[in-house]
A and B are shown apart, each in its own frame.
Chain A
Amino acid sequence: MTLNVEARTRLGAFSLDAGFATEGGVTAIFGRSGSGKTTLINIIAGLVRPEHGRVVLDKEVLLDTARGIDMPAYRPRIGYGFQEGRLFPHLNVRQNLLYGRWFAADDIGQESFDAVVEMLALGALLKRGTAKLSGGEKQRVAIGRALLASPRLLLMDEPLSSLDHQRKLEVVPYLERLRDQADVPIIYVSHSVPEVARLATTVVLIEDGKIVASGPTSQMMKRMTVIENQI
């Protein structure tokens, strides 16, 4: 997988002028809140349209404002794990998980459904309504739902930030299994150094809407810690 992103846009007083490229694995976009992380992945997902920008996934142009190309969000099969989960309240867990399957070109089959259910330990929750899930369970279902739409790329926007410490510890191992077993490139937005250190292979640092550095996680630890201490 290769992904190239360039975007320049203005949102009120905030301006974003960022570009980066990644080749797979888990790429963390690290920065403090308000630095433009979420805007950046919303642009990749096609949910936000920048004034100027270009997004290319595996040679397929998803967005090119200069050439008037803007693929609607439902086309490129980019999965998105939202910060708040965003499970459909009128569907139960199983129906939420299978939602993307209605629209998938090729049927993913019972086997991969079972595999995802097992990986994220969702078996006991399948018949439950979303209102009866804990925060951590909601995130696991949201991740499973995104995975089962067989995405080419998975975006995750601080999936742990709404959880308390105990719940975080409960979900992190699932994210590690996702990274090691699911074979989907991931872009992981976060402002937590321990999370990024544990999960990411590459780190892109963003500050005030600009990319200030990027590289392998081990080389970025110092700068991430500096940024985190400023928060």
Chain B
Amino acid sequence: MPTLTPEELDAIRLSLRVAVVATIFSLPFGIAVAYVLARCRFPGRFLLNALVLLPLILPPVVTGYVLLRLFGTKGPIGHWLTEALGIVLAFRWTGAALACAIMGFPLMVRAIQLTIEAVDIGLEQAAATLGASRFWVFATVTLPLILPGIIAGAILAFARAMGEFGATITFVSNIPGETQTLPTLIYTFTQVPGGDASALKLTLISIVIAFAAIFASEAVARAVSRRVRSQ
């Protein structure tokens, strides 16, 4: 096992923290948007769908630049956040989490939306005839049935967040200890003479983390579907 410098350790820790925070905070929004897209028919539906998918199609640099213009301290949303709530996102790790959440959002929504579309509405009707209001139908029937999709969506978003580069470096730059994640640090090492060994070491670590995430998600998904099916 090669030893890691404090700089490298910081980047690994920060990457994990950013990805976890991005995934957890975007999950409720992801479930809500997926539900609306799967079940509701309304005039602006097409637009909402396009808006959700946009970060998947746009160059990440563009997404990062849009975030910078909106959430930068002089941007309309960023200015308000700073003035009203004292929250600064630009050039902070929280901004990196926001960028990662937005980049992973389309993947998360898609995975959850597909499982919601697969839920038999007849089961929800049955729950209603047994006295469950819409909220309770969702909480006791829909949610448990779409759990595998939620887990899959969360893992995809987490993986996307771990690998996020373009939007992050554009929005929050590449500041050691604050916004320097694993990918941006690898990029830095490839730009300096003699950085190859470090870049390779971090690349291997990235691969190990990716494998661990895949195995964990497979294990969880299998456990959940076994539980659902065995009942």
Chain A residues packing against B (C-beta within 8 Å): 45-47, 72-74, 77-80, 82, 84, 86, 88-92, 99-100, 102-104, 129-131, 145-146, 149
Q: Answer whether A92 and B231 are a contact pair too, CB < 8 Å, given A99-B130, A146-B129.
A: yes
User: What distance in Å separates the Cβ of B22 from its nearest Cβ neighbour in chain A?
Assistant: 29
Q: Evaluate contact between A88 and B123: CB separation under 8 angstroms.
A: yes
Q: Evaluate contact between A129 and B129: CB separation under 8 angstroms.
A: no
> Which residues of chain B from 92 to 149 have any CB-CB distance to chain A below 8 Å in the complex?
120, 122-123, 125-134, 136-137, 140-141, 144-145
Q: Evaluate contact between B231 and A78: CB separation under 8 angstroms.
A: no
Contacts of A74 in B (CB 8 A): 128-134, 137
The residue from A72, A84, A103 contacting B130, defined by CB atoms under 8 A apart: A103
The residue from B120, B125, B130 contacting A146, defined by CB atoms under 8 A apart: B130
Query: Once bound together, how far apart are the Cα atoms of A72 and B131, in whole Å?
Result: 10
Q: Answer whether A99 and B127 are a contact pair too, CB < 8 Å, given A82-B122, A90-B145.
A: yes
Query: Once bound together, how far apart are the Cα atoms of A143 and B136, in whole Å?
Result: 21
20 inter-chain pairs at a CB distance below 8 angstroms, sorted by A residue, are: A72-B128, A72-B133, A74-B129, A74-B130, A74-B132, A74-B134, A89-B145, A90-B144, A99-B132, A100-B131, A102-B132, A102-B136, A102-B140, A103-B131, A104-B131, A129-B230, A131-B229, A131-B230, A146-B129, A149-B130
Contacts of A80 in B (CB 8 A): 125-126, 129
Q: Evaluate contact between B122 and A86: CB separation under 8 angstroms.
A: yes
User: What distance in Å separates the Cβ of A166 from its nearest Cβ neighbour in chain B?
Assistant: 26
Q: Evaluate contact between B230 and A86: CB separation under 8 angstroms.
A: no
Contacts of A82 in B (CB 8 A): 122, 126
Closest B residue, CB atoms, query A47: B125
Contacts of A45 in B (CB 8 A): 129
Interchain residue pairs A-B with the least CB separation, the first 5:
A103-B131, A100-B130, A129-B231, A80-B129, A73-B128
Closest B residue, CB atoms, query A99: B130
Closest A residue, CB atoms, query B231: A129
Query: Once bound together, how far apart are the Cα atoms of A217 and B32, in whole Å?
Result: 51
Q: Evaluate contact between A103 and B123: CB separation under 8 angstroms.
A: no
> Given contacts A84-B122, A90-B227, could you give 13 more A-B pairs where the C-beta distance is less than 8 Å?
A47-B125, A72-B128, A72-B133, A74-B128, A74-B132, A74-B134, A86-B123, A89-B228, A91-B231, A103-B136, A129-B229, A149-B130, A149-B131
